Amino acid sequence: MVESPRTTRRQHRKSLAEDANTAAPSIFRHITTVEGLIHFMELATLNPAIGSIVQTLTIDFKHMVSFSVSQLRAALLIVPNVQELLLYLPSPVPFGLLTDIRFRTLDFIATNIPHASLVSFLSSHPTVTSLVLGPCGKSKACPLAAVSTPNLVALECSVGCLSATSYSRLSRLTLDLPEAGVHMPTIIRHMTNVSSLSSLTVDFFPDDFDIVDAIADAIPQVRKLKLVEKKKPTVRVYLQFAMFRMTLTDSGCHTASGRRFEPKAVE
């Protein structure tokens, strides 16, 4: 005997009710499929504690072809106490996706959403202290220049978006180089109000020979330094890099000009 759709729906609702009543609410929620998102919403609708207790929410849809904006927004609205939000979505991302989404004590955001779609959201969450940003998007100038982030202490972003953020209080900074044509030492030398910066991670190209000199000049107080070499097509790179007399020793590193620079950790 084939069960009717009505019987199947009734059984599904009964199963959901049982799951909602017996599920142990968790502060962590990691969602990577639409089915997982729908299931979470159904459980949280029957047992609101399942949504209200979530503090760390990861939604990773970046490998999907598309997703339902209304479902995603509905899911974000039932987790008001999220403190750490990791949100990765496929392109294109609707501009108003995060409009009127509010979290009471949001502290950390990591996302690949274009920055133009983050302006209003970040403006309404001044509690954010840590921010990990993906590519800026199609804007010529980073839209985040219009956003105040008074409590920001940790930032990861493309080098082109650094000037758009409030980095005077930063203690940790990671700068990504999106493409060739950007001279990281020059960017660093133009950084101001970075006296609180103690941890720095930067991309550089093999022919950025003065990268350590630039850091020593602009941010001498940095205590943890990580340099990430990115490949750049050039026939002279390795010959020239061999001539760049920088040696790392137990006591620190010596720059091409002979200066000693002593961060606690160099990678």
The single residue listed with the structure tokens 């040696």 is 247
Indicate if 162 and 69 belong to the same structural domain.
no
Indicate if 140 and 52 belong to the same structural domain.
no
- The residue ranges of the chain whose pLDDT is under 70 are 1-23, 164, 166, 179-180, 232-267
Domain assignment present for residue 264? The answer is no
Indicate if 171 and 235 belong to the same structural domain.
yes
Indicate if 95 and 140 belong to the same structural domain.
no
Domain assignment present for residue 45? The answer is yes
Of 245, 244, 179, 253, whose CA–CA distance to 207 is shortest?
244
- pLDDT tens track for 214-223: 999 999 999 9
Of 245, 201, 246, whose CA–CA distance to 223 is shortest?
201
Name the amino acid, one letter, at 36.
Answer: G
Tell me the DSSP string of 104-131.
TT--EEEE-S-GGGTHHHHHT-TT--EE
Indicate if 139 and 60 belong to the same structural domain.
no
Indicate if 82 and 175 belong to the same structural domain.
no
Domain assignment present for residue 254? The answer is no
The pLDDT value recorded for residue 207 is 87
The pLDDT value recorded for residue 235 is 41
- Number of domains observed in the structure of the chain: 2
Domain assignment present for residue 122? The answer is no
Indicate if 162 and 62 belong to the same structural domain.
no
Distance CA 266, CA 202 (A): 12
Distance CA 140, CA 160 (A): 10
- pLDDT tens track for 84-107: 999 999 988 888 899 999 999 999
Domain assignment present for residue 252? The answer is no
Indicate if 149 and 232 belong to the same structural domain.
yes
Domain assignment present for residue 7? The answer is no
Indicate if 64 and 149 belong to the same structural domain.
no
What token pair was written down for 209?
């020979």
The pLDDT value recorded for residue 243 is 41
Indicate if 157 and 237 belong to the same structural domain.
yes
The pLDDT value recorded for residue 125 is 95
What sign does the dihedral 194-198-202-208 (CA atoms) show? positive
Indicate if 85 and 46 belong to the same structural domain.
yes
What token pair was written down for 213?
């000199």
Indicate if 147 and 235 belong to the same structural domain.
yes
Task: Give SS3 for 225.
Answer: strand
The pLDDT value recorded for residue 245 is 37
Domain assignment present for residue 127? The answer is no
The pLDDT value recorded for residue 140 is 77
The pLDDT value recorded for residue 90 is 93
Domain assignment present for residue 77? The answer is yes
The pLDDT value recorded for residue 249 is 40
Please give the residue range of the domain that contains residue 57: 23-107
The pLDDT value recorded for residue 2 is 40
Cα angle 108-59-14, degrees, rounded to a multiple of 5: 125
